[in-house]
Structure 1
Amino acid sequence: MFSQQDLQVIDAVARRGSFTAAADELCKVPSAISYTVRNIEERLAVNLFIRLHRKVKLTPAGEYFVIESRKLLKQMAHMTFQTQRVANGWNQSVSLALDNVVHEGRINTMVGDFYNAFPDVELLLTMEVYNGVWDALVDSRADIAIGATATIPVSGGFDYRGMGKLKWTFVISPNHPLAQAQQPISNAELAKYPVICLDDTARKLPKRTTWLLENQRRLVVPNWHSATQLLKGGLGIAIMPAHMANKLLMTGELIEKELITTLPVSDCCLAWNTKRMSPAVQWLLDYLGDSDQLHQQWLE
């Protein structure tokens, strides 16, 4: 019904707020822009813009049309890009899901080495939480998962390599009321304060929580960065991967306290979908190394 050029004109007028500014952006004369807009409005039998002295303003119908037209423009661009990729042999990608507990500093080196080895293959990275890593594998959103924790909740065409144990540390702000509590701190005392929990990103598999006491309020956040900010502000308590906590303990931003109960120790692993093997996937599995290398580079 509308050409790509038609939609681009409407988008430009909406963003720039005038026919003249849109014409400058699109290298056209204002009369051509005005004609295109009027033609589209006549075909729709609605006004998309309110004409002011030197500017235009979207009508409610215009706002809706712009939102939908931008979706179409994005789809057109994606279709063009994908078609060109296939024509040029760029039709391969590797999806990699990382659990939020791993060292992010290692990612840059891995990406750089991968693109040097495979200049025509895309690397798609996502950050997942808890069972979200396994969920990404099961749902074919990921070919490889780094740092998957706990018992493997899936069966079938998957293999894994151990990464060792992930240790946890109980941490709070030096200004938190529990900072002055007698150690070891009891569960009854802990339960008075909200526990900061990461939101499991699993879509199909059951979600899980690493540490939560009975009848304790949760403060749910998307990642460890957000959790750290809340911990520093004394807004909650939490257990944190030891390798993350150590830096904050050394600077005094957080403090460690002893609990009456034993903290969990999580088994971590590198996992992959054996049905989606390719030279690029095999290269990554070799590159990531054995269990000792994985633990040293991603969990210490």
Structure 2
Amino acid sequence: MLTQDELAMLQAIRSSGSLSRAAAQLGKAPSTISHAARQLETRYDALLFDRRRYRLELTPAGRLLAEEAERLLTDMGRLNTRVRQIASGWEDRLTIVTDELMEFQTLLPVITDFDKLQSGVSLRITHEVLGGTWSALREGRADLVIGATNEPPAIPRLRWFELGVMDWVFAVAPRHPLASVAEPLPREAIQQYRAAVVADTSRGVSARTYGVHGGQEQLAVPSMASKIAAQRAGLAVGWLPRLRVAALLSRGELVEKMTADPREPNTLYVAWRGEHAGKGLDWWVERLREPRLMKRLINGLEVQ
């Protein structure tokens, strides 16, 4: 195993092409560097330096060792930085799981501000659907969840606050048969047509769906954006976030229909586990409490 001094010496010799210049670069006597170089060759039982020319050059074995030395120096520097980072209370990585209802674009300004801290914390942001968001927190796959739906479940040391309330509208394409049915739409009428659903990603618990009646055919789609597109195309019916489809409703590209079984608004939550708190998590929790950001996350981006 090379010492840090030996790694630095190899790097200096490689870049300078001279023992004397390498010594000056490292603040050591040339004789010290020459002795260390010969000791290195003895240890590896290999010729590492070609001394036959005016400019000191590395042999192929020496170049390999120098290249690996440079990589190791970089890795050691990163390791030292990470150790200081952890010691000062910052996490190595922060895993954030958003419910699929949240739109990633709304988090971009927050990520930009977090980067300005130069904390060294690596961010990993993924999404789950419905119960899958809570499952990620329970199973340790998330440090922080944003936009989780339904009441917070029993999770050890769970901490949470309400992000806001999402209102829904039952919408169909203007040429869909339900568009001309008298309101309020009875359950029996809705059951005759396929419902678009974003599939629950929870593990180990019963999957949930909203606004789907027993026996109703379903079109499972990967995201809310896909669900809106499917209903806009008349391929299915269902409940959509009211504010995100406001422009489509105003232009008549979707039609709002009153139903006999209205859907209650959903309260969305921000949640984390208290034992995992670090400076990065604390920063995100504090930022997510800002009223303007909370509103932007709930409202999302209006579909044009």
TM-score calculated relative to the size of structure 1: 0.68
Please report how far the alpha carbon of residue 234 of structure 1 lies from its aligned counterpart in structure 2 after TM superposition.
0.5
In the alignment, the residues of structure 2 paired with residue 124 and residue 178 of structure 1 have an alpha-carbon distance, to the nearest angstrom, of 42
Establish whether residue 107 from structure 1 lines up as the match of residue 100 from structure 2.
no
What are the Cα deviations for residues 60-92 of structure 1, in whole angstroms up to 9, with x where unaligned?
xxxxxxxxxxxxxxxxxxxxx988753541770
Number of the residue aligned with 2:79: 86
In the alignment, the residues of structure 1 paired with residue 121 and residue 224 of structure 2 have an alpha-carbon distance, to the nearest angstrom, of 30
Number of the residue aligned with 2:237: 237
In the alignment, the residues of structure 2 paired with residue 279 and residue 205 of structure 1 have an alpha-carbon distance, to the nearest angstrom, of 32
Give the conservation status (yes or no) of the 8 Å contact 1:148–1:270.
Answer: yes
Number of the residue aligned with 2:152: 152
Give the conservation status (yes or no) of the 8 Å contact 1:171–1:245.
Answer: no
In the alignment, the residues of structure 2 paired with residue 94 and residue 250 of structure 1 have an alpha-carbon distance, to the nearest angstrom, of 40
Q: Provide the secondary structure at the position in 1 that maps to 2:123.
A: strand
Please report how far the alpha carbon of residue 215 of structure 1 lies from its aligned counterpart in structure 2 after TM superposition.
1.6
Size of the alignment, in residue pairs? 220
Establish whether residue 197 from structure 1 lines up as the match of residue 210 from structure 2.
no
Please, what is the CA RMSD of the aligned residues?
A: 2.2
State, as a whole percentage, how many aligned pairs show the same letter: 26
Please report how far the alpha carbon of residue 270 of structure 1 lies from its aligned counterpart in structure 2 after TM superposition.
0.8
Cα 1:278/1:191, change in 2 over 3 Å: same
In the alignment, the residues of structure 1 paired with residue 231 and residue 75 of structure 2 have an alpha-carbon distance, to the nearest angstrom, of 44
Q: Provide the secondary structure at the position in 2 that maps to 1:169.
A: strand
Matches within 5 A, 1:244-263: 244-263=244-263
Matches within 5 A, 1:98-177: 98-177=98-177
Please report how far the alpha carbon of residue 244 of structure 1 lies from its aligned counterpart in structure 2 after TM superposition.
1.8
In the alignment, the residues of structure 2 paired with residue 186 and residue 247 of structure 1 have an alpha-carbon distance, to the nearest angstrom, of 26
Give the conservation status (yes or no) of the 8 Å contact 1:171–1:240.
Answer: yes
Establish whether residue 225 from structure 1 lines up as the match of residue 218 from structure 2.
no
Cα 1:294/1:154, change in 2 over 3 Å: farther
Structure 2: 5+ residue runs without aligned partners? Answer: 1-73, 87-91, 300-304
Number of the residue aligned with 1:64: none
Number of the residue aligned with 1:271: 271
Structure 1: 5+ residue runs without aligned partners? Answer: 1-80
In the alignment, the residues of structure 2 paired with residue 294 and residue 205 of structure 1 have an alpha-carbon distance, to the nearest angstrom, of 31
Cα 1:121/1:193, change in 2 over 3 Å: same
Q: Which letter does structure 2 place at the counterpart of 1:96?
A: I
Number of the residue aligned with 1:288: 288
Specify the structure having the higher radius of gyration (Cα). 2
Q: Provide the secondary structure at the position in 1 that maps to 2:258.
A: coil
In the alignment, the residues of structure 2 paired with residue 82 and residue 181 of structure 1 have an alpha-carbon distance, to the nearest angstrom, of 67
Cα 1:151/1:294, change in 2 over 3 Å: farther
Q: Provide the secondary structure at the position in 1 that maps to 2:167.
A: strand
What are the Cα deviations for residues 87-142 of structure 1, in whole angstroms up to 9, with x where unaligned?
54177011111112224332110111111113411111011110111011111111
Please report how far the alpha carbon of residue 225 of structure 1 lies from its aligned counterpart in structure 2 after TM superposition.
1.7
In the alignment, the residues of structure 2 paired with residue 129 and residue 273 of structure 1 have an alpha-carbon distance, to the nearest angstrom, of 19
Q: Which letter does structure 2 place at the counterpart of 1:299?
A: I
Please report how far the alpha carbon of residue 146 of structure 1 lies from its aligned counterpart in structure 2 after TM superposition.
0.8
Deviates more, 1:276-285 or 1:152-161: 152-161
In the alignment, the residues of structure 2 paired with residue 158 and residue 282 of structure 1 have an alpha-carbon distance, to the nearest angstrom, of 14
Q: Provide the secondary structure at the position in 2 that maps to 1:161.
A: strand
In the alignment, the residues of structure 1 paired with residue 206 and residue 118 of structure 2 have an alpha-carbon distance, to the nearest angstrom, of 36
